[in-house]
Amino acid sequence: MRSVLWAGFLGLALVASGCVGTLDGRHRAGVPFVKDSVEGRYERPVERVYAAAREVIRYNGTLTRETTQLGETNTVRVLEGKVNQRSVWVRVEPLDPKVTRVVVQVRTPAGGKDLDLAHELEKQIALQLTR
């Protein structure tokens, strides 16, 4: 009976900790199988949305990396930063010439999610686009 319980605890520990994919294509330690990102779509050019996202991250924290992924069908740009000791990724990609998609992903230092901050940053990007 004890071995069954230990096997159950071990299985639970393996499921609770693991690797999660980030928006820039890399992996980090974290809690898998939880929603950690928010998406928004805007009728604005990619460059304008990217500039707004960069400004929002700089205003709220520190921008640590800017990446351009050319292996995709469209040019995808990813920003990485730190906001309130959280790791933040913002992916900006064109869906068509008029519509741009933004995905904001936020993870805590322990690998958990922070959807409230992701929603707040996505909302700030939208407000930055109205200026």
Q: What is the pLDDT of residue 21?
A: 67
Domain contains 9: no
- pTM for the complete prediction? 0.80
Single-letter amino acid, residue 96 = D
pLDDT at residue 11, rounded to an integer: 60
pLDDT (0 to 100) of residue 81: 95
CATH number at residue 41: 3.30.310
Residues in CB range of 31: below 8 A, 6 or more apart: 16, 17, 18, 20, 111, 112, 113
The residue segments making up the domain with residue 116 are 35-129
Tell me whether strands 100-107 and 27-30 are parallel, antiparallel or unpaired: unpaired
Contact 46, 77 (CB under 8 A): yes
The pLDDT of residue 6 is 75
**Residue 24 included in any domain:** no
* CA-CA-CA-CA dihedral for 91, 92, 95, 99, to nearest 10: 140
Query: In the chain, which residues have pLDDT < 50?
Result: none
Tens digits of residue pLDDT in 73-90: 668 899 999 999 999 999
| pLDDT for the residue 2 | 75
